[in-house]
Chain A
Amino acid sequence: MSELQNILEESVARVLDDSIDNQFLTSVEENGWPTELWNTLCELGLPQILASEESGGMGGSWADAYVVVRRCGYASLPLPIPEAIIATWIAKQAAIELPEGVPGLIPQPLTSDLIRGDSLTAEIARIPWGRDANYYLGITDASELVILGRDGIALVAEDNLGRDPRDTVSFGNARLLNRTATDLPPDAVQWLCAMLRSAQIAGASARCLEIGIEFVGNREQFGRPLSRFQAIQHHLAVMVGAIATVDSMSANAFRAMDHYGINGGPGERDAKFEIAAAKCRASDSVETVTRIGHQVHGAIGFTYEYGLHFLTRRLWAWRAEFGGSGKWAQYLGEVAKAQGGDNIWAYITN
């Protein structure tokens, strides 16, 4: 990591680690949106990390954003900072101003037919923090970026396994606040959020490992700490290997965004292969990480009070969100098939 990224990580870590503990996470699950923390993170400029300095952003790279998003996963952050980073970037690509406040990302491409004149009628499921959003952002199958307000919406509150909001929002003839052509692919939100989740999985997995190491060093059975048992050591070493693959691939996907972007035309290089490989690996690793993470804790890790679940429940949710291992593995399998055995090495090393 660059010196700047180290400083960035430290400052984000300090705020998140100071604010977030089991009590905080429990209170968010019971009472919802933590306004104070959201405001603090916005004051740090995190949603604007990819925005240019002229427009009040940090002028950061995707590699910088990776450091932040991974740390959000590490802290089980129950706020859409990663999603806000994506919203800012998508708006920047289309050269539009976003409304103030919290973005609600529409996860799938919107069917153009649902837009009549300047209004949308549609029911959209699984919008992260849909209930808290001040506006909604989506891309149509005709590559139009659309922004909607809250007027005329109906909302059904739902949570994912991590108890983070994933709401169903019904737009009834809702007026578009903005409508602009974009050169991003219609499913850009899905690609970019899959990449976010791979980084969050990397972060949360690393924290699971840390908690596990601490626990086995303190807990004694048969007259010695669990960490002295070879079976426990090997469990954790296997977990390390799984996490290493995710850490490496998720960081790699963000770098690929810096190098290639996401809108390569046919035959052009873009970051899709790296993103697919990162999310596939991240989703595949969740089984190993959560199984061993829980196993080394024994029964205490299964209790609500201990709090390991704030991480593991999010890992189970993130594993499937924006496509699980199967979806992305199939994409990679199609790449392999198209390249053929003789060319796959050149493709991977390109």
Chain B
Amino acid sequence: MNIDGLRFEPYKLPASLAPLRAEVREFLASEIKNFTPVHRSNSWDAFDPEFSRKLGARGWLGMMLPKVYGGNERGPLERYVIVEELLAAGAPSGFHWIGDRQSGPLLARYGTEEQKKTILPQITAGEVCFCIGMSEPNAGSDLASLRTRAERTDAGWLVNGQKIWTSHAHRAHYMIALFRTSPPDKDRHAGLSQFLIKLPSEGITCRPIKDLTGRAQFNEVFFEDALLPHDALVGVEGAGWKQVVEELTFERSGPERYLSCFLLLTQLIDAVKDSASPETLRKIGEQIALVTALRNMSLSVAGMLNEGRDPSLQASIVKDVGCTFEQGLPALAQELVDLEPSLASYGNDFQQVLGNLMQLAPSFSLRGGTPEILRGIIARGLGLR
């Protein structure tokens, strides 16, 4: 068994991207300087339409999209630099996140001319929020078992069923949803199709679900005889699974896979700075080594994408290792600094960031593929299944 296919080639970003990075840093230094650390620790979940519009005005959203649809036709590496800077700084990215990362590229590839002309410019301007309707009450990690049906009628697609855990659905402008368009046969992945849905819409009800932090970010979404126009179908009828898998490669490879807790690491460094014992410095140093390794691995995946190679196995490895890192940080921070994790009304910045991320951490291994699923993908890559 040769495992060379698993290697992460070192990739160095071209020096020509340095001015862009500097520009983003300068922008962030002025735009988010008044945001509290605990607010910034929500980063890619924090919902801030005004901030997203500013990014759009800079040309930093949907930047890989064709110019005729408002994009910049920039490369994946430029987007990579912008995203990692936004995340490391804790810039509020929830409003534009899904549209910029996956729905824009999906529509550019599979959308109708009309959809591209109307929607893509809104994505690049930071004016629309997308959500993704995938999971259902009985289809979580086993996504292919989903049951919500879209039936072709003369009037359009008639949808009945239910989605769940749909982030931002209650405040999104569009949903990209995966529905069953023909009954399952031997190939469980056949008969699924993707749809573009304008929200709010008749026959579609969103009910926010309060999460353990007390906030409501995700939703139950009910479809009761919801009628979608014929051209709501995205891409090829029955090819939804393949299209979704393509999308997930983007979802699993980016810097968001290890930066969710980066703000806690910076807070931890400052919290122990003046009194750090060698033992404490060692524990922080180990995290610095790990986060640097994850960045290099993530860059390597970006390099592979840039060269048109398929990094889906490497992307799964980055997400799995990244998740272990992110989820371990709150406990480590708690071990090294003997202060209570707190809610935003009490305590110092470190305590508030710790309190927020400690509560959010369980979700890191649920979104975008659980470790159980990812390790199965890695095992398949090793030829074990």
Chain A residues in the interface with B (C-beta under 8 A): 1, 63, 206, 209-210, 213-214, 216-217, 227-228, 230, 232-234, 236-238, 240-249, 251-252, 255, 276-278, 280-281, 284, 325-326, 328-337, 339-342, 344-346, 348-349
Contacts and interface: CB of A to CB of B under 8 A. Distances in A.
B270 A277 contact: no
A213 B375 contact: no
Band of interface residues on B: 35 or more
Given A247-B7, A332-B288, 11 more contacts: A210-B2, A233-B375, A240-B3, A244-B317, A245-B294, A276-B285, A329-B286, A330-B278, A332-B284, A345-B89, A346-B25
Contacts, number: 181
Interface string B84-124: 10001100000000000000000000000000000000000
A336 B3 contact: no
Contacts of A217: 1, 383-384
B385 A233 contact: yes
B289 A280 contact: yes
Nearest to A210: B1
A333 B288 contact: yes
B283 interface: yes
Contacts of B378: 236-237, 240-241
Q: Pick from A217, A255, A331, A349 the residue with the most CB of B within 10 Å.
A: A349
Contacts of B272: 337
Interface in B297-312: 297, 300
B385 A337 contact: no
Interface string B280-298: 1111111011111111110
Contacts of A244: 6, 8, 297, 314, 317-318, 321
Q: Pick from A232, A234, A284 the residue with the most CB of B within 10 Å.
A: A234
Interface in B232-281: 262, 265-270, 272-273, 276, 278, 280-281
B332 interface: no
Interface string B317-353: 1101100100000000000000000000000000000
Contacts of A247: 7-8
B385 A341 contact: no
Contact of A234 (B21, B294, B379): B379
B26 to A, nearest CB: 12
Given A241-B321, A251-B10, A213 B382 contact: yes
A337 B276 contact: yes
Contacts of B266: 341-342, 344-345
Contacts of A276: 285, 289
Given A233-B384, A345-B262, A336 B286 contact: no
A281 B293 contact: yes
A240 B375 CA distance: 10
B137 interface: no
27 contacts: A1-B9, A210-B2, A213-B383, A213-B384, A227-B385, A233-B379, A236-B378, A236-B384, A237-B320, A237-B378, A240-B378, A240-B382, A244-B314, A248-B296, A252-B10, A280-B286, A284-B290, A330-B285, A334-B285, A337-B276, A337-B284, A340-B269, A341-B273, A342-B270, A345-B89, A348-B295, A349-B295
Given A244-B297, A252-B296, A255-B12, A277 B282 contact: no
B362 interface: no
A227 B324 CA distance: 24
B347 to A, nearest CB: 17
Contact of B289 (A216, A329, A340, A342): A329
B25 to A, nearest CB: 8
Contact of B283 (A210, A248, A329, A342): A329
A336 B288 contact: yes
Nearest to B280: A333
B376 interface: yes
Contacts of B293: 245-246, 248-249, 277, 281
Closest 3 CB pairs of A and B: A333-B281, A341-B266, A329-B285
Contacts of A281: 289-290, 293
Contacts of B375: 233-234, 237-238
Nearest to A347: B288
A137 B384 CA distance: 47
Contacts of B297: 244-245, 248
